[in-house]
Amino acid sequence: MPFADHRGWRVDTFQGRPQARLAHLTARLVVRPIADSLLRTLFAIEVLDGPPPDRSILISNHKSYWDPLLIATCDPRIKPLGNAYWFDHGPFPWYVRNVRALPNDFRGVLAAVKHLQRGGIVWMAPAGYRGTCAAALESGAAHLAGLADAAVVPVMIEGMEHLPNLSLPRRPRHPVAVRYGEPHSLTSSTTQEHHDRAWREVLQAAEII
């Protein structure tokens, strides 16, 4: 169910029941800083070639369930756009839906457009978790870029290949590199050939294909 309205929470607004507003504020002001500190204890995150510009969509490889949490600690502007399943299931749905991410359903996409239009950044893994198929990768990201007139930035997350699912690193400060590529504009492409070439360059830079 989009945005799980029966529970009263909202991803991008404080509207809703008072307890929903309190849950959101608690997650954002208390839980998120603690979670960020724990993540930085588990992982030594090095950001390379950034930061990405305002109003951009990060197109990323995705080798571990940690990826969206790690990428969101790199920049407060970043909101991951992820599988709606995790907003009601998994180990921490309350945390995901109140702080970290946007679901990849209709209302989540609308919230992502608003976030981008306010200068925010949205992270996407268009091939999915450990995905290798390039077919039909473009439609969601390109459509979102067109709706928000946003740049597309390839991102490589390195160091998570051997930590599938939510496996813990063997020792603290596991090295992770987040490498940003050059921004691309899909919306300014004058021909289909130029558009396809720009999109393929993004996927290749993120090592999705």
Buried b / exposed e over 3-18, threshold 16 CB at 10 Å, is bbeebebbbbeeebee
- Terminal CA-CA length for the chain: 32
Q: Is the pTM of this model over 0.85?
A: no
pLDDT at 28: 80
Specify the pairing of strand 121-124 against strand 56-60. parallel
The identity of residue 176, as a single letter, is: V
**CA separation for the pair 47, 37 (Å, rounded):** 16
- Domain residue ranges of the chain, discontinuous segments joined by +: 2-205
pLDDT at 188: 64
**CA separation for the pair 203, 209 (Å, rounded):** 6
Per-10-residue mean pLDDT of the chain, 209 residues long, equals: 37 56 81 89 92 93 90 92 82 75 88 94 79 52 87 92 87 94 77 72 71
pLDDT at 10: 42
Residues linked to residue 174 through DSSP beta bridges, in sequence order: 43
Specify the pairing of strand 78-82 against strand 151-158. unpaired
Which residues, at least 6 apart from 202, have a Cβ–Cβ distance to it below 8 Å?
59, 152, 153, 154, 181, 184
